[in-house]
Structures are given as C-alpha cells and as structure tokens.
Amino acid sequence: MRGGNIMNNNNHKNKGGRPSKTIKRNYRLRVACSAIEVTVIKSKARNVQLTVSEFLREAALKSQIVSRQKTLPKEVLTFTARLNHLAANINSMAYKNNRLEDFSLLERATFKSLAGQVKELAQQIKNYIS
C-alpha cells in the first residue's frame, strides 16, 4: 500500500464549505409590495429574529386565510335563478312592445302571471329575511 489517504473508502473527498441541506429551497417567488409594506414586513421579521424569507414562509404556511369567496344559501341561488328567468321573459315582452306589436291573449295572460310571480318572490324574500 502506497502512502495516501486512509479514508479513501467513500471515493469522494470532503470539499469543505456549508453542508448540503436536506430540503433545498431553490425556488424563488416574487411579491409586489409598496414601500410601506416592505418596511412593515422587514420590521416584523426583525422583531421575531427571522430573515424576511423565513418570516414570509412561516406566515404563509402557518396562517389561515379566510376565503373571499362567499357561498350563498341555496334559497338565494333559487331566487336569483327565478329572477333571471322572469327578467328574460319581461325583456322579450318589452322587445315586442317596442316594435309596436299587439299582444295576444296568451301574452297578456303571461304578463299577469309574471306580475304574480314577481309579487310572490318579493313576499318570499321578505319572509326569508324576517
């Protein structure tokens, strides 16, 4: 055995430097902030003795954000659908009226029915609210 490295079992030398991390953070995110927001974020990070990256990462991963999307109750969605249907019917009748066409007996009955449906919906909305 010639003189050499006794620890040659690993086939690689220790190059020194910082040891590699288990979880590599090699993805970058860009966040647009105002000057005031940057100042506040840096100050908050400094107060808890974290880097800005650590602070933002912890804030994002450990916080719970309330969704901006509001789900409407089924009753409200049903009302909306009925109102849209009524609006479409009334719009087609108004279009015919604007062309100065006469309404048939069936169309006049439809108007009366639509008026009743609108009144019924208004009453249901009042009942739902109170």
> With bands split at pLDDT 50, 70 and 90, how would you rate the model's confidence at 129?
confident
Give tens-digit pLDDT for 39-52. Answer: 999 999 999 999 99
pLDDT at 22: 87
Please count the CA atoms within 13 angstroms of the CA of 44 that sit on its side-chain side: 13
Residue 114 has which token pair? 């639509």
Query: d(Cα 101, Cα 93) in Å, to the nearest integer?
Result: 10
Give tens-digit pLDDT for 89-117. Answer: 888 877 777 777 787 888 888 888 888 88
Residue 12 pLDDT more than 70?
Answer: no
CA 78 to chain centre: 23
pLDDT at 2: 52
Give the angle 113-80-114 at the CA atoms, nearest 5°.
10
pLDDT at 39: 94
pTM higher than 0.95, yes or no? no
Q: What is the DSSP letter of 62?
A: H
Overall average pLDDT of the 59-78 stretch: 81
DSSP string of 66-128?
A: PPSPPPPPHHHHHHHHHHHHHHHHHHHHHHHHHTTPPPPHHHHHHHHHHHHHHHHHHHHHHHH
